[in-house]
Structure 1
């Protein structure tokens, strides 16, 4: 939505972190390929990058004008994770990779830890603190940056 409003290209970090050619869920892309793609993204004059990665995306943090930490309630995120799984199982989401129930449980556990521990730690200790804007809703981002 933000990309469309501002007419700025949007890149999803999951698209370069995970091996999209793998037949099973959870296979990572090569670091060299991933890092090259990230370098390509941030070489443009303007861009929006979305993802929950921290360590390997430092080039995007240093190049960014703003870092938006979108922190919706964990309960809402959990509902969305389950819905995505259900959509994939039913075929509504045409993703080739099939998550297992164990994959979803692991993701739910990871998601809670990320949101309750890792993200707050990142925000508190990030060397780019002055660039961070924290919001809880997508519409807050639109309001902040488009009005």
Structure 2
């Protein structure tokens, strides 16, 4: 099984990926770790070609769950996946999660791969707004994969996991 979990910032992608990974005994990968890699000089963004190479290396290993926001570089995941899960969590829930995540990170109650500061908080709100502005285009693109698309709007995605 190859599962691509996609959605806006703070939609619940990582939480669902962890849950499905455990339930299905399939490794999951965060798309941010495909886009960026850690070096001795800090986080460095891979080129689009390098990101596709990372995806193809993961795909060559068999089953996977990859979660993340949609990027053009990840378009191949739509074709490679057996199931696409679009987490369409309400905007107010995502905004609340962005703020609570930031507070937890500042209090060192939650770890993160990126530098958590006010600029990153502002970027998360910007990315959320950008997603909402491009929503129609995104949903139209996803509709071409209707046969393998699952759209989840509820915030209680963890109670009733998708059966495969």
SS at match of 2:89: coil
Per-residue deviation, 1:140? 6.8
Question: How high is the TM-score relative to the length of structure 1?
Answer: 0.80
Higher-RCO chain (CA-CA 8 Å, sequence separation at least 6): 2
- Corresponding residue of 1:93: 110
Structure 1 residues 99-138: aligned runs within 5 Å: 99-114=116-131, 116-126=132-142, 127-137=144-154, 138=157
Structure 1: distance between partners of 2:160 and 2:31? 19
The gaps in structure 2 that reach 5 residues or longer are 1-18
Structure 1: distance between partners of 2:33 and 2:113? 14
- Is contact 2:88-2:151 (8 Å) kept? yes
User: Which is helix-richer, 1 or 2?
Assistant: 1
Question: What is the count of residue pairs matched by the alignment?
Answer: 142
- Corresponding residue of 1:12: 30
C-alpha distance 60-89 of structure 1, shift in aligned 2 (>3 A) = same
- When structure 1 is superposed on structure 2, of 35-44 and 95-104 the one drifting more is 95-104
C-alpha distance 3-119 of structure 1, shift in aligned 2 (>3 A) = farther
Is 2:54 the counterpart of 1:37?
yes
Deviations 1:31-53 (A, max 9, x none): 34322211111223311110112
Structure 2: distance between partners of 1:123 and 1:96? 28
- Is contact 1:12-1:49 (8 Å) kept? yes
- Corresponding residue of 2:91: 74
